[in-house]
Structure formats: C-alpha cells, structure tokens
C-alpha cells in the first residue's frame, strides 16, 4: 500500500463508475475498484448491482455485513485506488497497544475519568507494556493457532520468557527474585496479585479460548507443587527450565474413572522392592497441554492414600489428543502410564499427603481462571455494544430496541459486579499470608468462580440472541460470539464445576457460623 500512489477523487468522479464492468464504491472515504473483485466476492457479485451502491458511498452497508478487519487484509487493501478529496477516514476497530474506547471495554481503572484504590503507577506501567506485547506478539499467534490447532509458536514462548511472563504468572514470591520483569516496569519486590491479574488478563484478551489454555496453563497449575513441595534437586532443575520456556509441564490429576474426585483415582504408584523407585500404572484424561508436555505432575493412589509424583515423559508414557469443543492448540491429552519407573525422590510432599499438595494451589488456580474468564466476557460485551450500534434492523440500529438494551443491561451489570468482586478478593490476597488465604478465601474464590462462569454463560446466550445467525457462525461479524458461546463451558468446568464451587463457598460459610447465632 505504501508504495501505491492513491488518487484524490471527488464523489462526483466516483459516481461515474457505476456499471457492472466499471464498478467503484466508497467505504469510509476510500475508493475501492471492485470491477474484477466482484466475481470473487464471498458475498457474491450480485450484491453490488444496486443503483444505490454502484459508484456510491457503501460505508453503512459494508459495516452492517463485515468486520473492519476485512478491509485490513492485504488482498483487499489492493482494491483501494484512491481517497475522497478533503475527507479523512473515521472508522477504526481495534487499535493495537491502545485502550478500548468502547464503554465497558476496559475495567473502570482503565477508563477515562474513573478511579480505583487498588492500582498504582507500577500497575499502569505493566498494563501498558503487557498490552503492547500481547497485541504485537501474542494476538497474531493466538488467531493463527486457534485456527490451525498447532501448539503455540516457540518464538512466542521464548519472547514471553525474555520478559519473564512465565515467571510472573506464578504470582508474587521468591521465584521472581533477581528477574527483570517486563523490561523492568515493575520490580520483583513490588510485584503483587494485581500485577499478576494484569498479566493474566492481557494475555487472554485475544478471546481465543483454546489458545488461552495452550499458552502454558499447564505450567500455572502443574509447576506449583514442584516449587512448593519438590526436593532441592528437582526445584533447581525443573523450575528454571520451565520458567525459561524450554520445557513444558502439565498437571495430571483427573481420570475417566474419577473426574477430579481424588479419592476415586485409579492410577497407582507402587514401590519397587528396594524402595528406590515408584512404578506408575494408569490413565489420565483432559490433561491441558499434555500433548506437548515434557513433565507431568501426577496424582497417584499409593499404599497410604493419595500422593503426587513428578514424572518425566519417557518409556511407558503415552499421550493421545482428545477432541474438545475448543482448538487442539491447547494440547488436551489422554495419558497412559504403563510401568513407568521414577525415583522416589520425585515424590512431591510427604507420601499420602497428595490432597494437601493439591489443595494448596487450588485457590490460586481458580482465581487465575476467574481473571481469564472475566476478560473474555468483557470482550463479548464489547462486541455486542459495537454490533447493536452499527447493525440496523427495521430502519434503526438494534440499540433502538428496548429488548436489546435490556439484554445489554444484564450483561454489563453482571460483568462489572464480577470485576468488583474479583478486585476485592485480589486485594485480600495481597494482604493475607498464604496460610490466611487458604483459611479465608477458598469459599469466596469458589463462589466468585461460580458467579463469573454463570454470568459468562448467560451473557454468551444473550449475545447469540443479539447477533442472531451470526452468533452461531464461525467466520464474519459474530465470530467472537460463536467462539465465546462454544467455549465458555470450559471456564465453568476447569478447576471445579460451578455447583461444586458454589457449595464449597456455602459449606465454608456454614462452618464459620457462630454457634449461638439466632434469628
Ligand atoms: C471492498 C469491498 C468489499 C470487500 C473486500 C468484501 C469482502 C467480503 C468478505 C471477505 C466476505 C466474507 C465474510 C466476512 O469475512 O466477513 C464478504 C461477505 C459479504 N459481503 Fe462483502 N465485501 C466488500 C463489499 C461489499 C459490499 C459493498 C456489499 C454490499 C451489499 C457486500 C456484501 C456482502 C455480503 C452480503 C456478504 C455475505 C455476508 C454474510 O455471510 O454474513 N460486500 N464480503
């Protein structure tokens, strides 16, 4: 485009090109010669043969049928032959690195004129740097990999490692010591859960749900047991490899037999006669990133209960892909362990204490899932707000219909109340010790996750109604809505099903009821 000299044309000149064999249209002050393109047009040639379109301004018609990104594609940019004299393009879509100007497109702390008690200058710096990085490095890979189903490009993983993003996703702590975070915009000492929330939301903002999990979700849930319960040897070898993006790990607990019911797990680990090794036999199902993991944090039945053991990919370990509703990019695997021999030093925590090892990370894992689930919900609301203002029906924008506005009212209210609750809980995490978090926050985080995913599913359903057929179509105007609606159940299942998590919250509340309280 840059090398092409564009003519400056008047609207009268463009109007001369109003026949099927000489056909120009104006879209947002740019003039497109569609004479030859019309026969290749995915919407058909016939749609152009309208007197009100040929040689005329087609901006409004175009935007009621296409996403702006269509015009950004090089093959369509080539159709531009000129611009309208003394007029400037006004329409934009997503501007890389910038904040969204759509109301509710950003949380209030990033919205002009609003305030928040939680975010400081280092949070703002990190958000800015993360947005630029995610738009430039992650976003294009997310779209391409969600589509072709391949694992995330290693170049992306490497660039994330250079910025210490893998390390930041593990939350605040001593693993950050000495690292330069995001080029130095935040120090390891000041890094808190709000910084982590920002990292997590910015890398999921592309809305490609399978890719969001593909991008090392396995590390976030699979590495903590090693960091917290592994031997010095394991920790010093595995943690640097994984946080530098050279190796991949996943958490392997759930099974076809037992879902996440750890008491019912069938995978067994028995000791060799000399007591030096475990022999592991069994299967695991729905293991995120399992297809490309080098390491597995495996829940096993042992003589004295449930034990978590670190296993390296090798003899006897086999991974097979599971087809799920989202893209194979996430590497969701069915794993078989057949006489897999591992040293007893790979035991994570004391034997038989597997439930404690797992529980110790559940809060962080679920909180992290809340952050991602909410940012994609926000994208869904943003898409709806754009659609209802640009799409006309019965001569008026969809937003003129009270029923449509009522759906948006519900979406916005749900989204913002979940965000406020998430920030409240994040604030508690920043001010509680790990032990206090375990004591006070398991219930509230369970309830929050239930609320976010219920809200997300309701919003996805309403969004499909607002988008109509486009909400169930994989390409075109409603493609994010289709993807969101198809994949929002992942949020409601991973890390604990909605009802289970809600129940956890209520049970904790009942336990804490004062014995002498009466109506
Ligand atoms: C430079 C101008 C245009 C380009 C590059 C273009 C390109 C495309 C593309 C790529 C699609 C496939 C769907 C998508 O990805 O969104 C499409 C569909 C379509 N286009 Fe165009 N188009 C242009 C102008 C127009 C105009 C002026 C009309 C006016 C009636 C039109 C009507 C349609 C229709 C009806 C569809 C099918 C939409 C659907 O399935 O929902 N196009 N166009």
Give the pLDDT confidence of 363-418 residue by residue, as tens digits: 999 999 999 999 999 999 999 999 999 998 888 999 999 999 999 999 999 999 99
Dist. CA 65 → ligand 1 center (Å): 6
Residue 26 makes CB contacts below 8 A (sequence gap 6+) with: 11, 14, 32, 56, 57, 58, 59, 84
> Average pLDDT, whole number, for the chain?
96
Dist. CA 475 → ligand 1 center (Å): 12
Mean of the pLDDT values across residues 24-33? 98
Structural tokens at position 64:
């009621």
pLDDT bracket for residue 3 (50, 70, 90)? low
DSSP notation for 437-486 = HHHHHHHHHHHHHHHHHHHHHHHHHHHHHHHGGGGG-SSSTTHHHHHHHH
Q: Report pLDDT for 259.
A: 75
Give the pLDDT confidence of 136-173 residue by residue, as tens digits: 999 999 999 999 999 999 999 999 999 999 999 999 99
DSSP notation for 349-418 = SSTTBHHHHHHHHHHHHHHHHHHHHHHHHHHHHHHHHHHHHH-EETTEEGGGSHHHHHHHHHHHHHHHHH
Question: Mind listing the domains of the chain with CATH numbers?
Answer: 7-84 (3.10.120.10), 108-215 (1.10.540), 248-352 (2.40.110.10), 360-511 (1.20.140.10)
Q: SS3 letters for 58-74?
A: CHHHHHCCCCCHHHHCH
Residue 237, pLDDT above cutoff 50: yes
Residue 260, pLDDT above cutoff 70: no
Pocket test for ligand 1, best of 25, 32, 41 (most atoms within 8 A of CB): 41
Distance CA 59, CA 484 (A): 28
Query: Does the Cβ of 41 fall within 6 Å of ligand 1?
Result: yes
Residue 283, pLDDT above cutoff 80: yes
Give the pLDDT confidence of 75-86 residue by residue, as tens digits: 999 999 999 999
Q: Report pLDDT for 74.
A: 95
Give the pLDDT confidence of 440-476 residue by residue, as tens digits: 999 999 999 999 999 999 999 999 999 999 999 999 9
Mean of the pLDDT values across residues 283-308? 96
Residue 2, pLDDT above cutoff 60: no
Residue located nearest, by CA, to atom 14 of ligand 1: 476
Residue located nearest, by CA, to atom 12 of ligand 1: 42
Query: Does the Cβ of 45 fall within 6 Å of ligand 1?
Result: no
Residue 1, pLDDT above cutoff 70: no
ipTM associated with this complex: 0.95
Dist. CA 77 → ligand 1 center (Å): 14
Atom of ligand 1 nearest to the CA of 71: 5
């Amino acid at each position: 485009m840059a090398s092409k000299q564009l003519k400056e044309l008047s609207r009268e000149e463009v109007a001369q090109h109003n026949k099927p064999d000489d056909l120009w249209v104006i879209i947002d002050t740019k003039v497109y010669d569609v004479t030859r393109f019309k026969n290749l047009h995915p919407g058909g040639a016939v749609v152009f043969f309208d007197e009100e379109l040929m040689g005329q301004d087609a901006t409004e018609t175009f935007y009621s049928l296409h996403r702006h990104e269509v015009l950004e594609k090089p093959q369509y940019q080539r159709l531009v032959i000129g611009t309208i004299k003394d007029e400037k393009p006004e329409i934009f879509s997503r501007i890389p690195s910038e904040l969204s100007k759509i109301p509710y497109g950003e949380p209030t702390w990033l919205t002009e004129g609003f305030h928040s008690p939680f975010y400081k200058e280092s949070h703002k710096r990190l958000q800015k740097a993360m947005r630029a990085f995610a738009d430039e490095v992650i976003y294009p890979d997310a779209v391409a990999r969600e589509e072709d189903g391949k694992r995330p490009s290693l170049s992306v993983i490497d660039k994330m490692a250079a910025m210490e993003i893998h390390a930041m996703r593990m939350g605040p702590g001593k693993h950050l010591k000495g690292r330069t975070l995001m080029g130095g915009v935040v120090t390891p000492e000041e890094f808190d859960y709000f910084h982590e929330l920002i990292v997590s939301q910015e890398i999921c903002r592309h809305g490609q749900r399978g890719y969001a999990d593909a991008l090392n979700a396995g590390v976030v849930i699979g590495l903590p047991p090693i960091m917290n319960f592994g031997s010095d040897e394991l920790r010093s070898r595995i943690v640097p490899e994984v946080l530098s993006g050279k190796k991949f790990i996943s958490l392997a607990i759930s099974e076809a037999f037992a879902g996440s019911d750890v008491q019912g797990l069938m995978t067994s680990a028995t000791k060799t006669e000399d007591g030096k090794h475990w022999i592991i036999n069994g299967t695991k199902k729905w293991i995120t990133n399992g297809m490309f993991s080098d390491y597995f944090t495996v829940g096993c039945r042992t003589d004295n209960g449930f034990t978590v053991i670190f296993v390296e990919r090798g003899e006897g370990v086999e991974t097979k892909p599971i087809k799920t509703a989202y893209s194979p990019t996430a590497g969701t695997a069915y794993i078989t362990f057949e006489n897999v021999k591992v040293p007893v030093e790979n035991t994570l925590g004391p034997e038989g204490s597997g439930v404690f090892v797992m529980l110790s990370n559940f809060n962080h894992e679920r909180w992290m899932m809340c952050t991602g689930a909410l940012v994609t919900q926000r994208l869904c609301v943003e898409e709806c707000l754009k659609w209802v203002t640009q799409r006309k029906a019965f001569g008026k924008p969809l937003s003129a219909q009270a029923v449509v506005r009522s759906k948006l009212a519900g979406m916005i209210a749900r989204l913002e109340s979940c965000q406020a609750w998430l920030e409240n809980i994040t604030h508690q995490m920043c001010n509680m010790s790990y032990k206090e978090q375990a004591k006070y926050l398991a219930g509230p985080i369970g309830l929050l996750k239930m609320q976010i995913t219920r809200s997300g599913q309701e919003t996805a359903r309403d969004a499909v109604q607002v988008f109509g057929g486009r909400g169930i179509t994989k390409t075109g105007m409603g493609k994010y809505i289709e993807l969101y609606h198809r994949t929002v159940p992942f949020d409601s299942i991973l890390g604990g099903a909605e009802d289970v998590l809600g129940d956890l919250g209520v049970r904790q509340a009942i336990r804490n009821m004062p014995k002498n309280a009466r109506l």
